[in-house]
A and B are shown apart, each in its own frame.
Chain A
């Protein structure tokens, strides 16, 4: 357990799934923290000080020690606050969890994002790749309630974009990617995820997120 006097700050962006991952991890651990909303068009001195390398959010600052990169932060949170473990104990299971978190970032999220923002020309191929990516992810879920098993784990957190953002983005784009017909297991997981008592409180409000991305789509 971290000491009573430990200070935790999160520099984030409310609409960003990457920033949200850190919110979710901290909330699942019951760690109190101060949140600062960053304006990426007008980066704060703190952001530039704490993440000079990438100048991006999220950045966790724990007792004055900064840490960027959402998945690095989530693992750090898991190792520092030992209640409600987010990663399994077994090294092989941990390797699998890390593999899926990385595959989400490297392959699955980009495929879905591309499909949602693609123009007429690239649309068909982008959608095909997005559907393939969702298929791969669904297979990884198998028959489990969450990727973490009975409880939310690293992969569920890493897949927050799939669990919550995709429904909004696909509606704006007029696409049907994650549907109950196409991916029944994954769809069911997304409902369990978004309705989980702690996660629900940690996700940004749907209407506002919809408005935010709709406005971006117009540009």
Chain B
């Protein structure tokens, strides 16, 4: 029943994208509701009173907040198809570790790059490339971080891909230096679940321009 699963989302959001991907991977039908972040719906405020943020997955009327928690929930409930996490506890723990690493390091550096200028900006750009290089090491010769199959670590990393493209365009971030990462990203983008969940790059680019205008003091 499609009305059993509702997703409160914002198309350009990488966090929303993760839940979209997970739902698509499992073939779950759901109702998609786009939120206007400047005018949040009463439902969103009711379902996520603590953070008031998207995405919120609502299953049988109950909200699940925080993108990676929602992805784990989806994996545990719809556990008969396309597992997103490994079954071995140590490998699961490693997947959780890397997903946490990605959210700390990629997100923080994106914020730094957007908010700073000159030397500080260059330093953050350098650090972001180092993060990608470390991820490439972790990927090794595997097709995906999950091994043969796309999984729990691939999802948050690929969700940042549109932001990487925007930084390439606006900040000359040299993502091309990381050829393994680029190849992996291409592989992910060929997956139907990713292709149909990824926002339009033009929309992302427009948002970047708008955000920078608003935060610029010049």
Contact = CB atoms under 8 A, between A and B. Distances in A.
Interface string A62-95: 1001011100110110011000000000011011
Given A92-B62, A98-B69, 15 more contacts: A62-B90, A67-B94, A69-B97, A69-B100, A75-B92, A75-B93, A76-B89, A79-B89, A91-B77, A92-B59, A94-B76, A95-B69, A98-B72, A102-B66, A102-B69
Contacts, number: 58
A99 interface: yes
A76 B65 contact: no
Contacts of B69: 95, 98-99, 102
Nearest to B73: A95
Nearest to B64: A95
B134 interface: yes
Interface of A: 53-54, 62, 65, 67-69, 72-73, 75-76, 79-80, 91-92, 94-95, 98-99, 102-103, 107, 136
A99 B97 contact: no
B137 to A, nearest CB: 10
20 contacts: A53-B101, A53-B134, A65-B90, A67-B97, A69-B96, A72-B93, A72-B96, A73-B93, A76-B93, A79-B92, A79-B93, A92-B64, A95-B70, A99-B69, A102-B66, A102-B69, A103-B50, A107-B50, A107-B51, A136-B50
Given A92-B59, A99-B65, A99-B66, A68 B72 contact: no
Interface in B66-110: 66, 69-70, 72-73, 76-77, 89-90, 92-94, 96-97, 100-101
